[in-house]
Structure formats: structure tokens, C-alpha cells
Structure 1
Amino acid sequence: MRWLALILCLWALPAFAVDPSEVLDDPVLEERARDLSKGLRCPVCQNESIDESNAPISRELRVLLRERLVAGDSDAEVREFLVARFGEFVLLEPDRTGVNIILWWAAPALLLLALGVGWTAIRRKPGTGDAQLTEKERAELEKILRS
């Protein structure tokens, strides 16, 4: 029972990442801020969004994001601003255009290549390309097998 309580407490930790002082008064703007922050990577935690992270840099990014929204920026403008300032690394899911298309297609292409190589290796007939035994070797083999 204690383990279940501990797991539930740990599971709820990301809910406490956004400090109540950060929350905007306008519920529509706050919802936009939460949606945007779920797609932005914490520079410290690496695989957590800034919405889930308790790191100080994530708090600063959440505050900056909300300031931009209050200033009247659209969602796309906020994303562009943060990418221009911190690079594409700040996006949890990078765009699928330009050079990034190589990153998106490299893994499936390598998987298909590996499957092709594996299929070819399995389908290859055993013994092809192996040299045949000479008469002397055959006689020696017969001699060994008889004894």
C-alpha cells in the first residue's frame, strides 16, 4: 500500500511544476501557454517538457512564454521566438522540413537496409562459393571416417 502511495505521489510531481504564481488570469491564454509549453524541451532535463520540469530554466522559459502571449504574440510567433533564441533543440518534436527530414527518415531507412541485408544473408544458399574437395582430401576424409 505504501508503494502505491509513493508511486501516485511521484506520478503527480509534474502537476506541481507550474508554480501558481506563473498561472495567467485569462484561462484561454493559460490554456495556450500550457499547450505550447508541453511541446518545448527543458534544456536541463532533456526529455521533459518545460511544463513538466521543475528546473529553474524551465520556470524562466514558462514565464517568458507567458509574457510573449500576454504581449499579443500568436502561438507560431512564440515558437519562432524561442527557436530563434534557443535553437531547434528547444522543440520536443522538431519540424519535418529541410535538413531535419534526414533525421526523420534515417532510422526507418537504416531499418529497411538492415532487414534487406539480413534477408539476403538468410536466403543465400549454404556452400555456394566453397571450394570442392580434391581427390587427395576426399581419400583422407574417407580414411578418417572409416577409423
Structure 2
Amino acid sequence: MKRLAVLALLMVPGALLADPTMAPEPLSYTQLPDPAQEAQAQALMQTIRCVVCQGQSIADSDADLAGDMRALVRQRIAEGEKPEAIRAWLIQRYGRWVSYTPPVDAVTWPLWIAPILLLGIGGLLARSAFRRRRA
């Protein structure tokens, strides 16, 4: 029991050091001077999912990694890179999941077609239920 307590105490300093002490990237919370470029950056950041929070876009997340991703988006747009090229790079780096608007291809087409099929099946079931009531 004493060994377990000593082991737990030895782990505490490591946990305290896990808190980031580095300052956030300059463009994490600072807008670009050009309003058109900032509008492009904001539009792109709304469509990219935070890989830490998973339920928020990088524009809405307070996670450190989301701040780094916002800074990267703003920096690349300031350098003149197109938003679609930045999106493609982020998808290549973090996977398709990072985008709120996945492409339609062989892997994702069932996700796009499933709601239409379910609505059709629901319509057929409702139609047959109404016909039975009339008869």
C-alpha cells in the first residue's frame, strides 16, 4: 500500500508539467488586417472540426491545437493560399473526419444516400398503414 502511495506521489509532478506553458500562436486569437482574407479564414475555420473537442469547429474551440490550426489557416491565407488548398492539406494531415463537409465518393456515398432511402422506406410504410385503415 505504501509503494502505491509513493508511486502516486511520483506521478503528480508529471501531471503538473502537462499543462502547456507556451504562449498561443499570434494568429490564434488575432484577426488578419485584410477583412476579405479574414472572412475567407473564418469561413474555412467554421468547416474544420477540432480534433480535440470533436464537436466544435476550430473557430469555436478553445483547445490549444484548435488555436494552432486557426493560426495556420490565417497564416496560409495571408500568404495567398486558396482555402480549398488549405482544406485539402488539413484533410490529408488529419483525415477526412476533420472536415464537416466530407466529399461524395465510394467510401462516403452510403452516408449521403441513407437518409433518402430511410425517408422512402418511411413513406412506403406510412402509405401501407393508411391503406390498411381505409380497408
Q: Aligned equivalents of 1:24 and 1:43: distance in 2?
A: 23
Answering whether residue 29 of structure 2 is matched by residue 19 of structure 1, we say yes
Distance 1:47 1:96 in 2: 21
Letter in 2 for 1:24: L
Partner of 2:9: none
Query: Which structure has the larger Rg?
Result: 1
- The normalised TM-score by structure 2 is 0.66
Q: Kindly, what percent of the aligned residue pairs are identical?
A: 33
Counterpart CA distance in 2 for 1:30 and 1:122 is 54
The answer for unaligned runs of 5 or more in structure 1 is: 1-17, 126-147
Alignment equivalent of 1:76, drawn from 81, 84, 88: 84
* Distance (Å, rounded) in 1 between the aligned partners of 2:123 and 2:40: 43
- Offset at residue 43 of structure 1 (A): 1.9
Structure 2 portions without partners, runs of 5+: 1-27
Matches within 5 A, 1:112-127: 112-124=120-132
The yes-or-no answer on 1:94 pairing with 2:91 is: no
Using CA pairs below 8 Å that are at least 6 residues apart, which structure has the higher relative contact order? 2
Q: Residue 54 of structure 1: SS of its match in structure 2?
A: coil
In the TM superposition, residue 118 of structure 1 has moved relative to its aligned partner by 4.0
| Distance across 2 between alignment mates of 1:32 and 1:122 | 50
Q: CA deviation at 1:34?
A: 1.0
- Opposite residue 89 of structure 1, the aligned amino acid is W
Q: Matches of 2:55 and 2:112 in 1, distance apart? A: 17
**Alpha-carbon RMSD:** 2.5
State the Cα deviation string for residues 94-113 of structure 1 (Å, max 9, x = none): 22344322211202211211
Counterpart of 1:128? none
The residue type paired with residue 48 of structure 2 is L
Q: Which amino acid in 2 is paired with 1:78?
A: I
Aligned CA distance change for structure 1 residues 98 and 71 (closer, same or farther; 3 Å) = farther
